[in-house]
Every structure is written in structure tokens, then in C-alpha cells.
């Protein structure tokens, strides 16, 4: 096998765009790769095995070093109406909010895990996204009514001018379904390698099953 054939196949399978990327994968310098492309000699079985071993070792190290990357943690929610008042968004991201714009940019590009918290910092919902960006998925969750996300409220008459004290007209607190935008005050988001997204979500949901309003009990991958 000629070196150029091996390099082309490795680049294709690993979605590499340059010799610098290829060099990091197999432990050579870009100059050495260029030199080998023009060589007349084929690679020996030992050389092929060595390069494949280096690529496998690098892949293992990368997987262990950066499987989860925190984008933002416990970020305050400032619910605002989206354009055309179609839904609520977690934070304002107009021109007057460049920091929030930058954060939204990261969330739009990343896939992974997100959490919503109440005013005391207790987690109340966990979710994942494997295909669309975290921003879109967490916004959808923020606007979604969940039958098992309930809170106690007292219904009061809001019309008319007369007020009757509670000792005359007692009103009992009753549970009603609420949206996450009624109760969520903070959020966190984590970029996760695709192979671990389902497993991490399952771990979070199952570990805090009595605290979260998640209705579905997620299962670990392969179970």
C-alpha cells in the first residue's frame, strides 16, 4: 500500500481537512506526510500497524479528555418574548445583549445535555438533544406544558372592586399544571460527544428521579 492511499482513507474516515489534522491523528509531522506522499516505496505492514495503533490511541485519549464540556452553568433566566411573540425565550439576545448573543451562538451549535433549576437552584428538569442545537431544544422545553410539572396555587377573583378576607371566603391551595417558564430561574448546558448523550441524560434523570419533572424514565444505552 502506498502512503498516499492510507492517508487518503484515514482522512476520509475521520473527516480530516488538512495534513495538519492527519499528522495529529497518526503522530507524524505535516512535512513528513508530504514527503511520504511523493515517495516511491510502499508502506510495510509494520508501518501500517504502527499508524493505526497511534490513531486508535489518540482517539481513546480524546474521548477520555473531552467527553463533556460545560458551556454555561446556573445562568440566570430572564424570560422574554421571541420575535412575533411566538414563544418565550430564556434570555434576551438582541443587539443590546452581546454576551447573551455569544452564549446563544454556542448553544445553537452544540448538542448535549441541559438542565433547568428553580429559584433556589434545585434541578427541576433535564433534557438532551442529539440532532438540533441545545438552544432550540431547551427553548422548546421551556415553553412545553408538562402534565406532571405541578405546583400549588390559590385561585383569587381578579374582577370587581370588593375584597373579602380569607376568613370569610376560604380558598384552598390547589395543584395545577405549570409551564417551565413559570418556575425555571437558572439553566445549565453541556456539550457532550454524540455517543454519550443518551447515557448521560439517563444517568441524570434516574439519579434525580424524585426531583425532576421528567415524565419519561430514560434508560441507559444498550439496556
Domain residues of the chain, as ranges? 3-65, 69-207
What mean pLDDT comes out for the span 89-104?
A: 95
- Taking only the tens place, the pLDDT of each residue in 64-95 is 788 999 999 999 999 998 887 788 999 999 99
Contacts 24+ apart (CB under 8 A), 103-109: 103/71, 103/72, 103/75, 104/135, 106/71, 106/72, 107/71, 107/72, 107/133, 107/134, 107/135, 107/138, 107/189, 108/133, 108/134, 108/135, 108/136, 109/133
The pLDDT score that the predictor gives to residue 222 is 65
What mean pLDDT, rounded, does the chain reach?
89
The answer to whether 126 touches 204, Cβ cutoff 8 Å, is yes
Cα four-point dihedral sign 27, 29, 34, 40: negative
How far, in Å, CA of 177 to CA of 22, rounded? Answer: 54
State pLDDT tens for residues 124-152: 999 999 999 999 999 999 998 777 778 88
Amino acid at each position: 500500500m502506498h502512503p498516499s492511499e492510507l492517508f487518503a482513507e484515514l482522512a476520509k474516515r475521520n473527516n480530516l481537512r488538512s495534513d495538519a489534522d492527519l499528522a495529529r491523528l497518526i503522530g507524524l509531522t505535516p512535512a513528513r506526510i508530504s514527503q511520504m506522499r511523493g515517495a516511491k516505496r510502499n508502506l510495510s505492514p509494520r508501518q501500517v500497524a504502527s499508524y493505526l495503533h497511534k490513531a486508535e490511541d489518540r482517539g481513546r485519549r480524546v474521548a477520555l479528555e473531552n467527553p463533556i464540556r460545560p458551556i454555561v452553568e446556573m445562568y440566570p433566566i430572564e424570560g422574554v418574548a421571541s420575535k412575533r411573540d411566538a414563544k418565550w425565550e430564556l434570555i434576551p439576545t438582541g443587539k443590546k445583549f452581546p454576551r447573551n448573543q455569544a452564549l446563544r451562538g454556542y448553544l445553537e451549535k452544540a448538542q448535549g445535555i441541559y438542565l433547568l433549576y428553580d429559584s433556589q437552584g434545585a434541578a427541576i428538569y433535564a433534557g438532551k438533544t442529539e440532532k438540533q442545537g441545545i438552544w432550540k431544544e431547551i427553548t422548546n422545553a421551556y415553553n412545553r406544558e408538562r402534565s406532571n410539572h405541578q405546583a400549588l396555587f390559590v385561585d383569587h377573583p381578579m374582577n370587581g372592586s370588593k375584597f373579602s378576607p380569607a376568613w370569610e371566603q376560604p380558598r384552598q391551595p390547589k395543584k395545577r399544571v405549570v409551564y417551565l417558564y413559570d418556575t425555571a430561574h437558572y439553566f445549565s448546558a453541556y456539550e457532550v460527544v454524540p455517543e454519550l448523550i443518551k447515557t448521560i441524560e439517563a444517568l441524570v434523570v434516574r439519579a434525580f428521579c424524585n426531583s425532576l419533572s421528567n415524565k419519561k424514565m430514560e434508560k441507559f444505552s444498550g439496556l
